[in-house]
Amino acid sequence: MPADLVGLVAGEASGDLIGAHLLQAMQQRWPELQAAGIGGPRLVAQGLQAWWLAERLSVMGYSDALKRLPELLWIRRRLGTRLIQQRAKLFIGIDAPDFNLGLETRLRSAGLWTAHYVCPSIWAWRPERVTKIRAAADHVLCLFPFEPALLREAGIAASFVGHPLASLIPAQSDQAAARVALGLPEAGRVLALLPGSRASEIAFILPPLLAAARQLVAQNPGLRVLLPIAPGLRAQVEALTHGHAVQLFDGRAHEILAACDLTLVASGTATLEAALFKRPMVIAYRVGESNYRRMKKLQLQPWVGLPNVLAREFLVPECLQDECTAENLARAAQVWLDDPLAVERLQARFAELHDSLRADSAHLALEALAPFIERR
């Protein structure tokens, strides 16, 4: 293994996308650099040596994490040992803070440089994580402009690098072209269902989304319903969608967001993607009841969905836990379908949000990481 090895861990689809974008830029600047660790299909396609695939880290909530804890700890221990033995120049943990912060702390204690990409949401819940971040990361790459100041107040070096999605997603998407690419007619309304990228999310969130879609189709004849499937989840999704008028696609979430008029979307990065595509949405989320009670106690602000968090107001409705019912989702979605002026106002706010997040993320990230990679 060459001396210029960088360790990477991305545990979810959003981290895989961010990581692939970063790795491509790193390889262009440092052609001899090689990367190894844990990632999904995008990182692997970009050249990551995947010692484990990202799906091995996929958990949802406390109970699921507890069941998987021995396996996750074993993977983290083995990964850390390999990186220490091979003296990686830098380790970059991409999101997945429950996995990465502990790994970063161990690596840093062993003399390796560490960076964490995507600031944990200390401003939303679990503020005690700031202590863990300070012990774990030499530098934090932040997606949102207000985060570096919060971290610097806690004695943590940080840089705003913009959100890569804000540069990848065009300011104005071509809805007609997206529909052609998906084999859809240009006319007619389209509803996108985005229930998440993890098996547990599909189990909890997809059923009410499907039931809401059924109601919306009944109220809006001709409404088409599209659902992008995350890798490895087709069998589960097909079982749940049997008997529903839903068109399934392997991936292609961005094309579907470009093509749709409205989305019912699980809370997470997909809500930001929908906002960047300027699509009205209803945010949905459900977890196990015990998990929800724990999360609710730690919540620091009234908003859960990223568009609302960034706007500091409820731009779009959130249907969470007991409120995540077919009736509530369909009712909130119908408001968008019935009020084009409200949609125009929302799209104007989303355009402002898009501008605030757009930056040359790759360049800014490389400038922040260069001192570690180029240090001899």
Q: Using one digit for the tens of pLDDT, what is the confidence trace for 151-196?
A: 999 999 999 999 988 988 999 999 999 999 999 999 999 999 999 9
What tokens appear for 221 in the block? 């004849």
Instruction: Answer yes or no: is pLDDT of 1 > 50.
Output: no
pLDDT band at 269 (very low <50, low <70, confident <90, very high): confident
Instruction: Answer yes or no: is pLDDT of 60 > 60.
Output: no
pLDDT band at 124 (very low <50, low <70, confident <90, very high): low
**1 or 277, which is more confident:** 277
Considering only 50-59, 261-270, 332-341, which range has the smallest mean pLDDT?
50-59
What value does the mean pLDDT take over residues 110-117?
Answer: 97
Query: Amino acid identity of 251?
Result: G
pLDDT at 65: 62
Average pLDDT, the chain: 91
pLDDT at 5: 95
pLDDT at 280: 98
Q: What is the spatial distance between Cα 101 and Cα 342, in angstroms, rounded to a whole number?
A: 41
pLDDT at 59: 62
Instruction: Answer yes or no: is pLDDT of 300 > 50.
Output: no
Q: What is the spatial distance between Cα 192 and Cα 270, in angstroms, rounded to a whole number?
A: 11
What value does the mean pLDDT take over residues 294-315?
Answer: 78
Instruction: Answer yes or no: is pLDDT of 298 > 60.
Output: no
pLDDT band at 302 (very low <50, low <70, confident <90, very high): confident
pLDDT band at 13 (very low <50, low <70, confident <90, very high): confident
pLDDT band at 268 (very low <50, low <70, confident <90, very high): confident
Instruction: Answer yes or no: is pLDDT of 45 > 70.
Output: yes
pLDDT at 118: 94
pLDDT at 295: 63
What value does the mean pLDDT take over residues 279-301?
Answer: 75
pLDDT band at 2 (very low <50, low <70, confident <90, very high): very low
CB atoms within 10 A of CB 142: 22
pLDDT at 296: 64
- Residue pair 227/220 in contact (Cβ under 8 Å)? The answer is no
Closest CA to 267 of 350, 179, 205, 188: 205
Q: What is the spatial distance between Cα 332 and Cα 339, in angstroms, rounded to a whole number?
A: 11
- Residue pair 136/114 in contact (Cβ under 8 Å)? The answer is yes
- Residue pair 207/174 in contact (Cβ under 8 Å)? The answer is no
Instruction: Answer yes or no: is pLDDT of 316 > 90.
Output: yes
pLDDT band at 86 (very low <50, low <70, confident <90, very high): very high
What value does the mean pLDDT take over residues 44-64?
Answer: 80
- For the stretch 15-30, pLDDT in tens is 898 899 999 999 999 9
Question: What is the set of domains in the chain, with CATH numbers?
Answer: 5-162+359-373 (3.40.50.2000), 168-357 (3.40.50.2000)
Percent with pLDDT over 70 in the chain: 93
Closest CA to 210 of 188, 220, 195, 196: 195
Closest CA to 116 of 141, 86, 87, 152: 141
